[in-house]
């Protein structure tokens, strides 16, 4: 009788543990939409959160997903989980999103320091493009990344100003260089990057499951 009682107690404890583990797993899933104000990177002591980078995440995931669907239409996650050139595609895509965001922030800041600004026409084009892009996104993408016309517009203006700075440098100071030299691995951008402080809050930035943030499976 005593033995049966012990077995019953052990079984109940195991079931409780399993149920608890499942509950924790569900609660621990990190959804960006619930953490839009979480700081993910500091650039020159200015903090930026998921709400600032949502457009970049959506773009980055969509670009890789299109390749994944070509690779395996039945199971695109197979492509996301591929390991190539010493890194998983999922991780490479996440790094690319952050790097492009940092680049736009830094170069748009350099543009402002140089006295450059967008024309009214450029601002209007960005605003119109933001509305168009928002209309092309599905509800799941908008909800998960916290996207609005305003923050898409802000992202587009930042990118446009960054490009204006590159064009200014090429035309006025760096005539021996090309647009490629301003890519992420380009000599011109690397030289600028060295003059700025960038600290990615890795423990926060790596929490979401990149490849499944704005893509509904």
Q: Please classify residue 177 by burial: count the beta carbons closer than 10 Å to its beta carbon, then call 0-12 exposed, 13-18 middle and 19+ buried.
A: middle
CB 161 within 8 A of CB 108: yes
Q: What is the pLDDT of residues 165-179, one digit of tens each?
A: 999 999 998 778 999
- Domain residues of the chain, as ranges? 31-205
CA Rg, the chain, in Å? 22
Q: At residue 12, does pLDDT exceed 50?
A: no
Residue 20 has pLDDT above 80, yes or no: no
Given a cut of 90, whether residue 24 has pLDDT beyond it is no
SS3 state of residue 49: strand
Mean pLDDT of 38-66: 97
Torsions phi, psi for 46 (to 5 deg): -95, 130
**What would the mean pLDDT of 187-193 be, rounded to a whole number?**
97
Structure-model confidence comparison of residues 19 and 118, the more confident one: 118
For residue 2, what pLDDT band results from cuts at 50, 70 and 90? Answer: low
Q: Tell me, what's the pLDDT at 63?
A: 97
- Residue 182 · residue 24 · CB < 8 Å: no
Q: How far apart are CA 166 and CA 146, in angstroms?
A: 29
- The H-assigned helical ranges of 147-214 are 149-172, 187-193, 202-205
pLDDT greater than 50 at residue 146: yes
pLDDT for position 208: 97
**Interatomic CA distance for residues 209 and 215, integer angstroms:** 10
d(CA 141, CA 147): 8
CB atoms within 10 A of CB 8: 10
Q: What angle do CA 72, 132, 168 make, to 5 degrees?
A: 95
Query: C-alpha 136: how far from its chain's center?
Result: 19
Q: Any bridge partners for residue 49, and if so which?
A: 39
Is a pLDDT exceeding 90 seen at residue 109?
A: yes
110 in helix, strand or coil? helix
Residue 46 has pLDDT above 70, yes or no: yes
With a cut of 50, say whether residue 118 has pLDDT above it.
Answer: yes
Confidence at 215, pLDDT banded by 50, 70, 90? very high
pLDDT of residue 29: 85
């Amino acid at each position: 009788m005593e033995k049966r009682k012990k077995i019953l107690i052990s079984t109940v404890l195991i079931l409780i543990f399993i149920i608890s583990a499942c509950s924790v797993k569900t609660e621990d899933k990190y959804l960006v939409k619930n953490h839009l104000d979480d700081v993910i990177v500091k650039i020159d002591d200015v903090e930026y959160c998921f709400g600032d980078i949502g457009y970049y995440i959506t773009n980055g995931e969509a670009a890789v997903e299109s390749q994944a669907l070509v690779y395996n239409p039945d199971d695109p996650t197979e492509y996301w989980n591929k390991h190539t050139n010493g890194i998983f595609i999922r991780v490479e895509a996440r790094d690319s999103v952050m790097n492009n965001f940092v680049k736009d922030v830094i170069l748009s800041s350099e543009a402002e320091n140089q006295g450059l600004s967008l024309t009214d026409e450029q601002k209007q084009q960005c605003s119109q493009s933001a509305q168009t892009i928002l209309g092309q996104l599905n509800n799941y993408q908008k909800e998960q990344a916290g996207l609005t016309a305003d923050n898409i517009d802000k992202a587009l203006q930042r990118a446009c100003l960054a490009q204006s700075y590159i064009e200014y440098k090429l035309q006025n100071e760096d005539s021996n260089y090309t647009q490629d030299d301003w890519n992420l691995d380009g000599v011109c951008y690397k030289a600028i990057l060295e003059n700025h402080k960038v600290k990615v809050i890795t423990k926060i930035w790596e929490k979401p499951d990149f490849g499944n943030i704005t893509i509904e499976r």
